[in-house]
Amino acid sequence: MQLAAAGHEVTALDNYLRRQIVEASNSEPLIESPDLVERSRIFEEAAGRTIDVVIGDCTDYQVLSETFARCRPDAVVHYAEQPSGPYSMSSFDAARLTINNNLNSTFNLIWAVLEHAPECHIVKLGTMGEYGTPNIDIEEGWLDIEHKGRKDRFLYPRQAGSLYHTTKIFDTDLLWFYVRMRDLRVTDLMQGPVYGVTTTEAELDPRLRPNFHYDDIFGTVVNRFLVQAVAGLPLTVYGAGGQTRGYLNILDTLQCVDLVLQNPAEAGELRILNQFTESLSVNELADRVRRAGRRLGLDVQIGAISNPRKEAEDHYYNPVHTGLLDLGLKPHLMTDDVLVEMLQLVCEHRDRIRHEIVMPRVRWGT
Ligand code: USQ
């Protein structure tokens, strides 16, 4: 919507996979959203701009090939991945779906670009989770190594904490291979957990709001804490709560995509950018949500529970994130005012909160 509003010709291709697995996991979002065809119609009415919608599966090469042959895009933003760590760890079928969907969609995209639009800039949504939590500073994608007196530059070592995050490592490797062999131009956005309830274009009509999940499988931690605060449930800090991640507001995810589209990677370049604006531990997040809740008269409790994931709960974390700032990113930080505003929006939908989908249903070890 943001790109269309700015005057670009936009085609959106989707097969509703996330909707299907959300429904199968009994993880309905807080805010109901119409399907893509309907959303594009609502957007057109509100903004006077068209978004061409194709309902199809990116793991089907024919679909991608035909779409690329027709559109010959200048750029493509690859969001077509199963995005949930917990889902990918929930069963054999979910793990297999994650591998099949995420790798085949990326592979097909590469070939559709090679076949129909070799100059097209591929913007791939990666994740900070690819790096894991190493005991050294995390660089932006690459590491200069000196070994036995010689030096070279390699992809930064990656060791993810879920199968989903691991598929993103595979994707990066696939893209890097074709960048080397076929001179693709690629930007890999290593995104941290996103929070936020609305965007500029979504303000045109509440039915255009982004997906907002608060369950244990599809909800990210900040959005979950906001809903828990409104519902009067103790905030579910997993384990010791020292897990530190780089977070960003949904407004900044859009800003980052826009900035990299305006400043494309060179042919034969895999550009990797760490996409987050501030690092916080889970305990710090919980404290902030409690503080913001107090301003609305909410008595927010924090209820540490045993960690369903296998992850370090107390670790070093110092990732570089200057690339997007250098391109012009103006961060929207997680201030008390921002949290209060989000809590107010969540309050409008408090009747839809289902308590039974808040506690963790997926455990890494089983
Ligand atoms: N956590 C809690 N309590 C909760 C939920 C989460 O303590 O109720 C903790 C988790 O254990 C983890 C941290 O909060 O240490 C972040 O968890 P999350 O669920 O918000 O994010 P994550 O599973 O890491 O995945 C999300 C998105 C994924 C994206 C990733 C960026 O779902 O698509 O790739 O954020 S990152 O984490 O940087 O890899």
- Specify the pLDDT at position 253: 97
Nearest atom in ligand 1 to 86's CA:
23
CA nearest neighbour of 304 among 238, 358, 359: 238
Nearest atom in ligand 1 to 243's CA:
15
- Helices marked H in the chain: 2-5, 17-24, 36-47, 61-71, 85-88, 92-116, 163-182, 221-231, 250-262, 282-295, 323-327, 336-347
Torsion of CA 200, 203, 208, 210, to 10 degrees: 60
- Specify the pLDDT at position 7: 96
Nearest atom in ligand 1 to 308's CA:
11
Tell me what percent of the residues of the chain surpass a pLDDT of 90.
98
Residues 6+ apart with CB under 8 A from 177: none
Average pLDDT of the segment spanning 192-204: 93
Average pLDDT of the segment spanning 264-284: 98
For residue 205, how far is its CA from the centre of ligand 1 (angstroms)?
A: 29
The reported pTM is 0.97
Task: Give Cα 197 to chain centroid, integer Å.
Answer: 14
- Specify the pLDDT at position 282: 98
Q: What is the pLDDT of residues 128-137, one digit of tens each?
A: 999 999 999 9
User: What's the whole-number average pLDDT of the chain?
Assistant: 97
- Specify the pLDDT at position 197: 87
Average pLDDT of the segment spanning 244-265: 98
Average pLDDT of the segment spanning 85-111: 98
Q: Is the pLDDT of residue 365 over 90?
A: no
Residue of 127, 168, 228 to test ligand 1 pocket, by largest number of atoms within 8 Å of CB: 127
- Specify the pLDDT at position 30: 96
Please give the full DSSP string across 294-323, using - where no structure is assigned. HHTT----B--B--SS---SS----B---H
Residue nearest to atom 33 of ligand 1 (CA): 83
Written in H, E and C, the secondary structure of 250-296 is HHHHHHHHHHHHHCCCCCCEEEEEEECCEEEEHHHHHHHHHHHHHHC
Pocket of ligand 1 (CB under 6 A): 83-85, 127-129, 165, 191-193, 220-221, 224, 236-238, 243, 245, 282, 309, 311
